[in-house]
Amino acid sequence: MTAPAPGTGDRDGPRLARGFHAASDWVAAGRDELNRINVFPVPDGDTGTNFSLTLRAVADALQALGPASLGDTASTAARAAVLGARGNSGMMLAHFLIGFAEGLEGRATAGAREVAAAVRRGAEALEQALDDPREGTILTVARDAALAAERAADDSPDIGHFLRRLHAESERVLARTPELMAVLKEAGVVDAGGKGFVRMIEGFVRVINGDPILPAQAPSPDEAIAPAALVDIAAERDFQYCTEVLVRGAGLPAANDVRAAMHDFGGSVVVAVAGDVLKIHVHTDTPDAVFTFAERWGTVTARKADDMRAQHRQLAHAERRRVAIVVDSTNDLADAALDRHGIIAVPLQVMFGTETFRDRVDLKPAEF
């Protein structure tokens, strides 16, 4: 089949897919800038990488899908985002796309009004999914831009007109994020996740305008193992592990029920359900208990637990220091002291009979 011309017509599956490809490339091209301005929730410099890799997962899934109806394309994108979500910004994007896909469900094509309604539904889904919605983030950018741009869809059936307006409005809202969040204002930056969202929309606009998309930078070698972003929204307390679980199964519980259950394990809970896939993000001290608990809902197909203290340590002193300080785990300094001074502790092994434990990782002083 011939590819539909970009521009003014109704949106169909292949056009939407092409938009996601462009958005993925455009966000990837701006990745370093997004990483640089990442100060919230935790200044860990990985929002660009996370947002970009989540969109890449979407683009890859659409490539594999091939030409399909608009509804199927959108739901494939949402599902891929849930599966491939990295960090907090990735999870927020996934929620947005879940709502977006719901808005286009069953449609072969859609005009400006329908797309505008779907974008707004995406923003609503995102807001409902968040445990502790904070203004000045992707949430604000997506919601306020969607509302403002809906008027453009009323003015003209031209989808390009709508997307350009959506882009302009999202830029405007993004510029306002420092007023909504003090930490951004102090650092003199806009919200990194919000900016990722704006760049995604810009990618869609550029493909319609026929503007060039810069080739994505090659991912750095360590990117594949880069940890997910740290979501410490007004950290209820200092949890150690950023934990994610992926569960597959028929008859998954409602996202709200899962979220309520996860509150017993920790904070910064984000839960997404798309079809037969459930993804849970939680900050906790007991990742193993979370993994075990999640088994009641289906088959746990992926899990990870990143030690946030270790990540924070490495970042906090990386810029000032040319010399890394490493000490073995028998040093007895408190974790807080290690963090504060940017000292890396490597575990020493303790043997009890035939069992080997890593000091301070598998064993806590209190167990003695």
Partner 1 sequence: MVGIFVSAALSGTFASAQAAVHAAGLTGVSLVNSRSASLGLGMLALRAAELADDGWTAPAIARELERIRDQSGALLTVDRYENLLRSGRVSRGKAWLGGLLDIKPVLEVDRTGRVVPVDRVRGAEQVVPRVLTLLEQRLGNRRRQVRFGVAHAEAPETAERVRTALLAAFHPREVLVAPATAVLGTHVGEGAWAVFYQVEDGTPERGDD
3-class SS of residue 115: helix
Complex with partner 1: residue 64 or 366, whichever CB lies closer: 366
d(CA 307, CA 331): 19
d(CA 65, CA 77): 10
Complex with partner 1: residue 354 or 368, whichever CB lies closer: 368
Q: Which stretch binds partner 1 (CB under 8 A): 6-14, 218-226, 277-285, 320-328?
A: 320-328
Each residue of 276-313: b (16+ CB within 10 Å) or e? Answer: ebbbbbbbbebbeebbebbeebbebeebebbebbbbbb
What's the one-letter identity of residue 210?
Answer: G
Complex with partner 1: residue 214 or 344, whichever CB lies closer: 344
What's the one-letter identity of residue 158?
Answer: D
Complex with partner 1: residue 262 or 345, whichever CB lies closer: 345
Complex with partner 1: residue 215 or 365, whichever CB lies closer: 365
117 contributes a contact to partner 1 by CB under 8 A: no
Minimum distance of partner 1 from residue 342's CB (angstroms): 6
323 contributes a contact to partner 1 by CB under 8 A: yes
310 contributes a contact to partner 1 by CB under 8 A: no
Q: Which stretch binds partner 1 (CB under 8 A): 17-25, 165-173, 284-292, 339-347?
A: 339-347
Residues 241-280 that bind partner 1 (CB under 8 A): none
Contacts of residues 160-165 at CB distance under 8 Å and 24 or more positions apart, as own/partner, are 160/7, 160/8, 160/205, 160/208, 160/209, 161/112, 162/112, 162/115, 162/116, 163/201, 163/204, 163/205, 163/208, 164/205, 164/208, 164/209
108 contributes a contact to partner 1 by CB under 8 A: no
Residues 67-86 that bind partner 1 (CB under 8 A): none
337 contributes a contact to partner 1 by CB under 8 A: yes
187 contributes a contact to partner 1 by CB under 8 A: no
334 contributes a contact to partner 1 by CB under 8 A: yes
Give me the helix-helix angle, 47-65 and 192-209, nearest 10°. 40
Complex with partner 1: residue 108 or 346, whichever CB lies closer: 346
302 contributes a contact to partner 1 by CB under 8 A: no
- By CB under 8 A, name the one of 108, 175, 260, 327 that touches partner 1: 327
Separation of CA 51 from chain center: 5
353 contributes a contact to partner 1 by CB under 8 A: no
Rg (C-alpha) for the chain, rounded Å, is 22
360 contributes a contact to partner 1 by CB under 8 A: yes
Minimum distance of partner 1 from residue 321's CB (angstroms): 5
- Which two structure tokens, joined as six digits, stand for 227? 């940890």
324 contributes a contact to partner 1 by CB under 8 A: yes
Complex with partner 1: residue 182 or 325, whichever CB lies closer: 325
Q: Which stretch binds partner 1 (CB under 8 A): 33-41, 46-54, 93-101, 333-341?
A: 333-341
Complex with partner 1: residue 32 or 359, whichever CB lies closer: 359
Per the CB < 8 A criterion, the answer to whether 175 and 195 are in contact is no
- By CB under 8 A, name the one of 3, 322, 353, 355 that touches partner 1: 322
- By CB under 8 A, name the one of 328, 339, 354, 355 that touches partner 1: 328
- Which two structure tokens, joined as six digits, stand for 100? 């977006």
d(CA 12, CA 47): 30
Helices (runs of H) and strands (runs of E) counted in the chain: 14, 10
154 contributes a contact to partner 1 by CB under 8 A: no
318 contributes a contact to partner 1 by CB under 8 A: no
Complex with partner 1: residue 222 or 367, whichever CB lies closer: 367
Of 250, 241, 324, give the one whose Cα is nearest residue 285: 241
CA distances from 296 to 256, 289, 367 (A): 16, 12, 29
CA distances from 41 to 84, 137, 181, 193 (A): 20, 10, 11, 10
Q: How many residues does the chain have?
A: 368
In the complex, the residues that contact partner 1 under the rule CB under 8 A are 317, 320-334, 337, 341-343, 348, 350, 357, 359-360, 363-368
